[in-house]
């Protein structure tokens, strides 16, 4: 089995790479920091191909699929994990930075899906995993662009799952809440000290990685992690009120 994981140099992407390698999968690892990927790949016993790529370059994103398949054969699981997050006042974010975020978080995954889907449909097998966020269900103040990009990816993923229900291609949408990664730490540090920040349920990259592999094998439609956040999908009005009411303010710059 061959999995392509974007954003594989740290955090959740690195944890998934380690977990999938331990399970015997061949891997294509994609991230900007090729040297970090090379060091990670050297730890694995399974075939691993490394691609240094900035997915905000959408043409380069398209090339990743062909390069991956040429190196290790058909892709059995495409995992759209790479992401950019800004936790700061929206008015201070330039057009260039906001557009880069949308390219990495939404447009690049759509390009990758478009490139890999025809061969999966032809084989009538394969899985596409889209790492969205709880922010795509319950938007958090101070994360305007991130919220929008993850909501867009979730909407695309959920609709594609229904569209392809009889095709043999499985679509898995993942909704992480806070997970202890460098991105999550930076986001948490952007808010003023507050009981809600200190006590919010938080998961681990390793726990998330195990659920993603299990979801692929069991053809799960969606994953919420930590699991308590799954309630938000059914109580959107209430969960949004809680978020709006108790979200701490951003730190003053």
The two three-digit tokens of residue 74, written as one number: 């058909």
Sheet harboring 170-176: ordered strands across?
Answer: 48-52, 26-31, 2-6, 77-80, 127-131, 170-176, 222-225
Q: Which of 86, 146, 175, 225 is catalytic?
A: 146
* Ramachandran area for residue 24 (φ above 0: left; ψ -120 to 50: alpha; else beta): left
State the Cα–Cα distance between residues 27 and 18, nearest whole angstrom: 10
Is residue 146 flagged as an active site residue? yes
State the Cα–Cα distance between residues 5 and 92, nearest whole angstrom: 32
* Ramachandran area for residue 247 (φ above 0: left; ψ -120 to 50: alpha; else beta): beta
Hey, which residues are catalytic here? 146
């Amino acid at each position: 089995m061959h999995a392509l994981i974007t954003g594989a140099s740290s955090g959740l992407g690195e944890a998934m790479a380690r977990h999938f390698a331990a399970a015997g999968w061949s891997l294509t690892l994609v991230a900007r920091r090729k040297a970090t990927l090379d060091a990670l790949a050297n730890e694995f016993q399974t075939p691993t191909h490394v691609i240094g790529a900035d997915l905000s370059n959408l043409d380069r994103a398209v090339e990743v699929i062909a390069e991956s398949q040429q190196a290790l054969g058909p892709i059995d699981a495409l995992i759209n994990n790479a992401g950019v997050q800004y936790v700061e006042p929206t008015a201070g974010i330039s057009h260039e930075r906001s557009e880069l975020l949308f390219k990495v978080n939404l447009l690049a995954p759509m390009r990758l899906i478009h490139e890999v889907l025809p061969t999966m449909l032809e084989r009538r097998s394969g899985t596409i995993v889209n790492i969205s966020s709880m922010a795509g269900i319950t938007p958090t103040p101070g994360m305007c662009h991130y919220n929008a990009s993850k909501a867009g990816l979730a909407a695309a993923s959920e609709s594609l799952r229904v569209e392809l229900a009889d095709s043999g291609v499985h679509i898995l949408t993942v909704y992480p809440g806070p997970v202890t990664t460098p991105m999550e730490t930076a986001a948490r540090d952007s808010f003023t000290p507050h009981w809600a920040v200190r006590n919010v349920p938080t998961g681990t990259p390793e726990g998330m990685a195990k659920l993603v592999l299990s979801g692929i094998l069991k053809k799960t439609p969606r994953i919420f992690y930590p699991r308590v956040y799954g309630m938000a999908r059914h109580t959107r009005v209430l969960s949004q009120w809680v978020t709006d009411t108790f979200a701490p303010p951003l730190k003053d710059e």
